[in-house]
Chain A
Amino acid sequence: MSKRFAGVLAVDRASFTVAQGSITALIGPNGAGKSTLFNVVTGFERGDGGDVYLDGRSIYGRAPHSLARRGMVRTFQLTKALAVMSVLDNMLLAAPSPGERLGLAAVRPAWRGVERRARARALELLSVFGLAEKADDYAGTLSGGQRKLLELARAEMLEPRLMLLDEPLAGVNRTLGRALLDHIQRLRQDRRVTIVLIEHDIDVVMRHSDAVVVMGDGHVITTGPPDEVRRDPRVIEAYLGKEQASELENDG
């Protein structure tokens, strides 16, 4: 997949490409424009020029819901777990069903089978994330880390080809975080899902991503494999800061 994007203000003529089946990390200091870029790519915000391509076709300006149906799913920095619905309902929401059409909604037999299968799949997925016992609880009673897991599980219900994860590990403890990352790796391995994640933890970025895109002040500073990027003086200067830069120098 290739994505070229240009816009003013928050994102200034940023342009990069994401390879299929890769895990790409989008890093940069706060205010670099990463979330804004996500918003424009996924249709939540209007850009001011440029283009976005998915599998060679332009998707710029398309509505978020149609992009999600095309297999591009995103998560949010502040989790959008639907607090007043059950964990299971959160999952079922993601599964497409003929019962979602008004015309068929009143005709239970038309969607009962699909609902049952979706339920089974949802419970399976929830158990992978260790949330199965919470299935009937309100999502609002989950901890912050659990909500992040729920959001990831929910995104998976859509069987995405491309996942855009906005800080999936923020506020998550180490153990849960490790489980999350293992899961992301498995997604890429078993189902060839392409993943782009906004992440602040350099350790995670170095160890789990195939490619890194560095943004700063709305520009793309550089892109490349993690090893190259970490050594790039521009990146070190703009993002890692002088102290960390010298630390890295000492690590070799």
Chain B
Amino acid sequence: MSANDVLAVSFSFLTNVDFWINVGVLATTYGVFALGIQLNVGTTGIFNFGQAGFMAAGSYAMGIMVVRWDVPFWVALLGGIAVAAVAGILVGLPSLRLRADYFAISTLAFSEIVRYVADNWDGLTGGNLGLFGYTDSWNAISVRIDGWLEHLGIAPHFLLPLLVVNLALFLVLAAFVALLVRSPWGRVLNAIREDEDAARALGKNTFLYKLQSLSLSAALAALAGYMLAINISILSPANFDPVLTAYGYVIVILGGLGSYFGVVLGSFFLIFLLESTRYLELPLSDARVAALRFMIVGLVLMALVVFRPQGIFGKREELILRSRG
């Protein structure tokens, strides 16, 4: 092997439709997930590190309802969101009164507890063999969407219907949350982030608002969970590792704290980066290439923090004002 062969990057994947469909499906999934994190961290100022746990709670609740209890799919969808939202409230009630860092640790602990329960309660969740068999209703919808697309002259591709649904859902949710945050309710959340005591002194029950923020974020995580569940057709505890929450944070920082449009761009950018680095042909084992991919993401994040700490759509002024206090 000559020196010229050490690194080979084939760019042909960029013209591969399936690559872009995959990027789109994952980006929208992580994007909805990150919307919740933005709501918590960027808008309300609470450091929710349990988002993966809420995603798991919602997904597994839906899966269990369909597969084990024969609940109709649409009811199960609502049920999963409800379970996640209630989980948000139950987690928030004891932990939101804690100092910021202790709250973060509590949510992380919750996330891991969900994962361990999913791993060990085989009878209910299928353990690490996974839970499957909930996609029947989706398959019917998917076929129908394929039909519509064919009418428009678009050839069927694997996961294209999911991309269509995910994209629509993601954009609608992003717009919805952005609108919510522009309301007086959102204004209170912003105030809580800046100075909770000031908000309390002005008559706001800040504990209640933080609880609502966490619960809404959990519901968003559940929706992201559905996107993932349908994508991979089988739920497994390994899918809900806390690293997912870390990805969510990277997206939020990338796009700019507080910017929901930034979440849209940030999620596509991050997933593109993660997925395109699969095509690096290096004289390394697969496992090492996988590790290298994460390193690349880490380097990008570091560069971002150094050269553009406010993210793509963040406001540098706000960063300065906040540090001055």
Q: Which of A7-15, A81-89, A124-132 contacts B (4 or more CB under 8 A)?
A: A81-89
What's the Cα separation between A65 and B188 when bound, in Å?
13
B197 within 8 A of A: yes
Residues of A near B123 (CB, < 8 A) are: none
- Ranked nearest first, the 10 interchain pairs of A and B with the lowest CB-CB distance are A105-B185, A99-B184, A80-B198, A140-B321, A68-B203, A105-B183, A82-B194, A97-B184, A64-B200, A69-B203
Task: Add 18 more A-B contacts to A100-B187, A102-B216, A138-B321 (CB < 8 A).
Answer: A63-B205, A68-B202, A74-B201, A76-B197, A80-B195, A80-B197, A83-B322, A85-B190, A93-B188, A93-B191, A93-B199, A93-B202, A100-B188, A100-B204, A105-B186, A106-B179, A106-B183, A154-B202
> CB distance B197 to A44 under 8 Å?
yes
Set A65, A84, A140: member contacting B203, Cβ < 8 A: A65
Distance of B43 from chain A, by nearest CB (Å): 12
Chain B residues near A82 (CB-CB < 8 A): 190-191, 194-195, 198
User: Does A92 touch B at the CB level, under 8 Å?
Assistant: yes
Q: How far is the CA of A93 from the CA of B191 in the complex (A)?
A: 8
**Interface residues in A30-84 (C-beta closer than 8 Å to B):** 42, 44, 63-66, 68-69, 73-76, 80-84
- A101 shortest CB reach to chain B, Å: 7
Task: Provide the residues of chain A in CB contact with B180, threshold 8 Å.
Answer: 102, 105-106
Contact A140 B187 (CB under 8 A): no
- Please give, as numbers and ranges, the residues of chain A lying within 8 Å of B202 by CB-CB distance: 65, 68, 73, 93-94, 154, 158
Inter-chain contacts of A101 with B (CB < 8 A): 185
The answer to whether B176 touches A84 (Cβ under 8 A) is no
Say how far A111's CB is from chain B's closest CB, in angstroms: 6
A-side interface residues toward B, CB under 8 Å? 42, 44, 63-66, 68-69, 73-76, 80-85, 89, 92-94, 96-97, 99-102, 104-106, 108, 111, 115, 138, 140-141, 154, 158
CB <8 Å contact, B201 and A89: no
State A115–B182 Cα separation when bound (angstroms): 12
Contact A115 B324 (CB under 8 A): no
Chain A residue contacts of B231, Cβ below 8 A: none
> Which residues of B come within 8 Å of A, CB atoms?
176, 179-180, 183-188, 190-191, 194-195, 197-206, 212, 216, 317-318, 321-322, 324-325
Residue of A with least CB distance to B325: A83
Q: How many Å from the CB of A163 to the closest CB on chain B? A: 11
Q: For the complex, what is the distance from the CA of A63 to the CA of B202, rounded to whole Å?
A: 12
| Interfacial chain B residues near A68, Cβ < 8 Å | 200-203
Complex Cα–Cα for A106 and B194 (A): 23
Interface SS, B side: helix
- Cα A100 to Cα B182 in complex, Å, equals 11
Tell whether, in the assembled complex, residue A76 and residue B179 are in contact, meaning their CB atoms are under 8 Å apart: no
Cβ B201 vs Cβ A64 within 8 A: yes
Q: Is the CB of A115 within 8 A of B321?
A: no
Cα(A142)–Cα(B201), bound, Å:
21
Q: Give Cα distance in the complex from A81 to B321, angstroms.
A: 12
Residues of B within 8 A of A106 (CB): 176, 179-180, 183
Nearest opposing residue in chain B for A69, CB measure:
B203
26 A-B pairs in the complex with CB atoms less than 8 angstroms apart: A64-B197, A65-B201, A65-B202, A65-B204, A66-B205, A68-B200, A68-B202, A68-B203, A76-B201, A82-B198, A85-B187, A85-B191, A89-B187, A92-B184, A92-B187, A93-B188, A93-B202, A99-B184, A101-B185, A102-B185, A104-B185, A106-B179, A106-B180, A138-B317, A138-B318, A158-B203
Residues on B with beta carbons closer than 8 Å to the beta carbon of A94: 202-203
Given contacts A97-B184, A99-B184, A100-B184, contact A83 B194 (CB under 8 A): yes
- Residues in B neighbouring A42, C-beta threshold 8 A: 201
